[in-house]
Amino acid sequence: MPVGTDPAAGAGWESHPARVGFFTDTSICIGCKACEVACKEWNQVPDDGLKFSGMSFDNSWGLGADTWRHVAFIEQRRPVAATGGAAGPASPPGAAGELRWLMSSDVCKHCTHAACLDVCPTGALFRTEFATVVVQSDVCNGCGYCVPACPYGVIDQRKEDGRVWKCTLCYDRLKDGMEPACAKACPTQSIQFGPLDQLRERAAGRLEDLQERGVTGARLYGDDPHDGVGGAGAFFLLLDDPEVYGLPPDPVVTTRDLPSMWKRAGLAALALAGAVIAAAR
């Protein structure tokens, strides 16, 4: 799908609303996990237990079949420069060596170029009229092809029957004109929902404001339509490198080379068939 192509139109939706998504501003996330609770309650996602990792106060380790929203708790000490003992230039305001919390509510990215859609053999994964990506659990056969295809490691299978599950961006709520449950529950507006173009403009303004205030480590992640997945439908304002949050620094759609691979395989098959015919003469 070329850059700038409307994913909903590309999926066959002739008449559809504007593409919507999430902008998560991690700089104002307080780690309350209201989004996790709201997601579970609305979507009837099973309890995944209280499993503290021993590394932080986070009681849910990451996204999975039973965790469609995950608030990461990251303890970090502000870096100390090699000379002078002062905080490095990319550090946010605060004393060098001081402990800070980085918190971020992670979710499925609803990619513009979604590899999970490319590899699904049953059509269980489909693109909605809002350009989001949804799993139809009653169509999923549990093959698991989509799990390694996701460059973010979002999609997961339930052990009970092998079917995959992930965030639907509350597709049922969108069809009734409501915002997703997680955004509705967020008390600080760290999770913002709306038309994707408007969210990108808002995010750019917020980034500029933070950088002018000296938070030079702030950056946007997933907002660029020219990146390896064609831009994400759920993007983030981060206060440090993506790897710190467990996000790949340069995600690429894993099925990017499939067309050329099939073309080469077809040419090889034709060449082999020609050689067999020639040898039989």
pLDDT digits (tens, 9 = 90+) for 61-99: 789 999 999 999 988 876 655 434 334 444 455 555 688
Q: What is the CATH number of the domain that holds 168?
A: 3.30.70.20
246: left (phi over 0), alpha (psi -120 to 50) or beta: left
262 in a structural domain? no
272 in a structural domain? no
Output the CA angle 20-179-7, nearest 5 degrees.
20
Number of domains in the chain: 1
Note down the domain range covering 155.
7-253
Q: Is the pTM of this model over 0.85?
A: no
280 in a structural domain? no
235 in a structural domain? yes
271 in a structural domain? no
Contacts of residue 19, Cβ cutoff 8 Å, sequence gap at least 6: 6, 7, 8, 130, 131, 195, 196, 197, 233
279 in a structural domain? no
CA–CA gap between residue 71 and residue 54 (Å, rounded): 16
16 in a structural domain? yes
pLDDT digits (tens, 9 = 90+) for 114-166: 999 999 999 999 999 999 999 999 999 999 999 999 999 999 999 889 999 99
Residue 240 dihedral angles phi and psi, to the nearest 5°:
-155, -175
43 in a structural domain? yes
